[in-house]
Amino acid sequence: MAPTPEYDLSIDLAEPAAQDTLTQHARSLMAEARIVMVDDEPIMTEVVQTFLEDVGCQNFLGINDSRLALREILAYEPDALLLDLMMPHVSGFDLLQAVRSTPALQFLPVIVMTAASDSNTKLQALELGATDFLQKPVDASELHLRLRNTLAYKQFQDRQANLDPLTGLPNRKKFMADLAAMCQSCENRSSGAVLLHIDLDRFGRVNDSLGMGGGDQLLKEFARRLEVKITELMVQEELPGRDSMLSARLTADEFAVMIPFVTKAKQAEYLARKILGFCEKPFRIDDAEVFVSTSIGIALAPGDGDSCVTLLHNAVSATKVAKQRGRNSCAFFSPDINQRSVERLSLETALRRAIERNEMQMYYQPKVSLRTGAIIGAEALIRWLHPVRGLVTPAEFIPLAEESGLIKTIGNWVLNTACAQQATLARAGYRNLEIAINLSPIQLMAADMIEQLRGALAATGAAPSRIILEITESVLLEQTRQSAMLMNAMHDEGVRISLDDFGTGYSSLSYLKQYPIDELKIDRSFVSTVIEDKDNGAIVNAVVALAHCLGLTVTAEGVENEAQRDFLAAGGCDSYQGFLVARPLPHADFMALLNTYSGSAGSVSRQAGFPRTDSGAAASQF
C-alpha cells in the first residue's frame, strides 16, 4: 500500500484560490506578529509603521533612543526586530551584539536597515547575527516581503519547537508554558481550571502487537479523536473558554487537556468520564480494529497546585490512582474528592438496581387540618433501604438520581406507588384523603411527563382530585412557556398543584398568578423560627394572607411543637405537617395511625380537635 502523503503538493499556485490562501496566511502572520523598530529618526519609525499597518500589522513599537532599546525589546517580546545601523550613543552594531548575547533574544530575527551600500557594512552586520538586510530608503514592497519571509520562517521554527511532529498537538514544552500563563491568570482572576492527565492503558502491548508503525498510527488517531471530541463536548456543554483550552501530547502515550473555568469536582468528573467514553469505539489501524482505554488523573486549579509543575505532577499522581483502580477510570488528586467520587459511583451503581431489587419504599407523612385537627392527607416521601448502608435519605440520593438520569425511573415508580396508595386508602374508606407527590424538576420536564401521569392514574385507579403534585420554584424560573403549558396540562388531568418549599427559592409572587397553582407549602426554615423570629412570623402571616387573596390554600412544613402550630392556626394557615403529628411512616404504620387517630375508618378527614402530641413520632425511625 502506498504511504499516505503527509503534505498535499498538488496546489496550483496560479489558481486564484491558492493565491487567496497565501495572501490570507501572510496577512494573519502580519496581524499576529509583534514588530520592534529601532531608529534614531522618528520620521523613519513613523513611515515604516504606516507601511506595515497598511499590510495588516497591528503590534508595532518604534524606539528612537537606542540606549533604552535593549530593555524595551526584552519587555515587548517581538517576533522580529528592524534595526538601523547608524545611530548616536549605541550604534546598531553594538545593539546587535547586545541582542545576540542576551539569551532570551539569541534567536530573534533581526533585519538591519542602512543607507550604506558598501559590502563591508553588510558583512559585518551579518557576521554579528543579522538575519536579513534592507537598503534605505526603504521600499514598502521589499520591506513587506522580507518581513513576511522572516516571520514565516520564525513561525516554522516555533512550530518545530512547540508541536509534537507525530500528532501535531502542542508538545510538553509548549503545554507547560501555556499552563504557566494560565496558572498566573488563574491567580489574578481566580477563575480556575481543570487539568486532565490522560494516559493510554497498556500502550506497550499495542506496540508489541502492531509494531511501532501501528503504535504511531494509534497515537495519531487518538490525538485526532481527542481534539475533535473535546471541541464537540465543549460546544455541547456550552463551556466557556473554548479559545483558551489547551491540549497536548506530553510523552509517548501521555496526553493532557486543560479546560478553563471548570472548578467544580462534579463537572470535572463528568468531563473526564466523557473522555473515557471517547475510546468506546475501536480505532482502525490498517485492517485491524484496536480497542484501547485510558486512565485519567484530575487536578483542579488553583486548589490542587498553584504552579503549573505542581498541578501536572498532581494530575499524574491521580492517574496512578486511576490505574490502580483497574484502568479505564478517572481519579482526583484530592483524596477527599476521590473518596466522595468513589462513594458517589458506588451509590449510583447501587441506585440503578434499587428499584428492581425492591429497595425503595414509600413513607407517608400525615397532613393535618389546622381548623379541624383532622388528618386530611399525606405527603409521599421516598426512602431507600440500602442493603449495606441502611436507610439512605432522599437528600443523598435524589440529586444523584437527577444527575444520572435515573430520576425518571424513580419518579415514575413514586408516581405509581403513591397513586396506588391513594386508591388503597379510598378502598379502605378514606376517600377524601389527598396524597401529595414530589416531582423533581428533571422528571417534570421530561417529554412524557403527562403520559406518565395519565398512565399512573389509569393503572392504579387513583382519583385525580385526591392527588397533589408538589413542584419547586426552580421549575417556574427556568422555562416559563414550557412550564406553564405543562402545568396547565397536569391541571387538566384533574390533579392539584402545590408549590413546595415556598420562600426558599427566588420567589416571584407573579408566578402565583401565571401558573395554575392550588397550594403553597411554607418551607420548614420559616416555620422552625416562627416564634423566636418576629420577622419570620410576620412573613408567614403575610404569605398566608396573600395566598388566600389569590384563592390558594397554605400548608406549613416541619411543625415540631404546639407553639408553632398555634401560631399558624391563629394566622389562618390551612394545614400543617411535621414531627408534632408524625414523622414520615411506612404504609402499614400510616394506616395504623389513621385508625388510632380517628377511631373509625372513614372519619379521619372529618375529625375535630388537635391530635395528641405523642401520636406519631414513635412509630418510625424518621
Contacting residues toward Mg ion, per CB under 5 A: 438, 470, 500-501, 557
At closest approach, how far in Å is the CB of 566 from ligand C2E?
A: 15
Name residues whose C-beta falls within 8 Å of residue 123's C-beta, 6 or more positions apart in sequence.
Answer: none
Please identify which residue in 99, 370, 398, 487 interacts with ligand C2E, judged by CB under 6 A.
398
Picked from Mg ion, ligand C2E, none, the partner binding residue 153 (CB below 5 to 8 A depending on kind) is none
Q: CA of 242: how far to CAs of 134, 225, 254, 546, 556, in Å?
A: 41, 17, 22, 47, 47
- Pick 271 or 439: Cβ nearer ligand C2E: 439
Please identify which residue in 39, 253, 519, 557 interacts with ligand C2E, judged by CB under 6 A.
557
C-alpha cell at 472: 419547586
Residues in the chain: 622
Backbone φ and ψ for 137, nearest 5 degrees, come out as -65, 145
What does the per-residue mask of binding to ligand C2E show for 340-369, with x meaning CB under 6 A?
Answer: -------------------------x----
Of the listed pieces 80-88, 134-142, 351-359, 557-565, which binds ligand C2E according to CB under 6 A?
557-565
**Is 500 a residue that touches ligand C2E (CB under 6 A)?**
yes
At closest approach, how far in Å is the CB of 540 from Mg ion?
A: 14
Residues in binding contact with ligand C2E, number by CB under 6 A: 24
Of the listed pieces 88-96, 454-462, 532-540, 571-579, which binds ligand C2E according to CB under 6 A?
571-579
**Number of neighbours of residue 282 by Cβ within 10 angstroms:** 11
Picked from ligand C2E, Mg ion, none, the partner binding residue 584 (CB below 5 to 8 A depending on kind) is ligand C2E
**Is 560 a residue that touches ligand C2E (CB under 6 A)?**
yes
Contact 467, 426 (CB under 8 A): no
Contact 376, 605 (CB under 8 A): yes
- Pick 206 or 439: Cβ nearer Mg ion: 439
Beta strand pairing status for 254-260 and 288-290? Answer: unpaired
Edge-to-edge order in the sheet of strand 59-63: 59-63, 34-38, 80-84, 110-114, 132-135
170 DSSP assignment? B
At closest approach, how far in Å is the CB of 375 from ligand C2E?
A: 14
At closest approach, how far in Å is the CB of 401 from ligand C2E?
A: 8
Tell me the C-alpha distance between 312 and 322, whole Å: 15
DSSP letters along 283-315, please?
EEETTEEE---EEEEEEEETTT-SSHHHHHHHH
C-alpha cell at 425: 386508602
- Pick 319 or 438: Cβ nearer ligand C2E: 438
Please identify which residue in 421, 577, 598, 607 interacts with ligand C2E, judged by CB under 6 A.
577
181: helix, strand or coil: helix
Picked from ligand C2E, Mg ion, none, the partner binding residue 367 (CB below 5 to 8 A depending on kind) is none
What does the per-residue mask of binding to ligand C2E show for 378-397, with x meaning CB under 6 A?
Answer: ---xx----------xxx--
DSSP letters along 320-347, please?
HHHHHTTSS-EEESSHHHHHHHHHHHHH
Please identify which residue in 76, 153, 261, 579 interacts with ligand C2E, judged by CB under 6 A.
579
Binding site for ligand C2E (CB under 6 A): 365, 381-382, 393-395, 398, 411, 414, 438-440, 470, 500-501, 524, 557-560, 577-579, 584
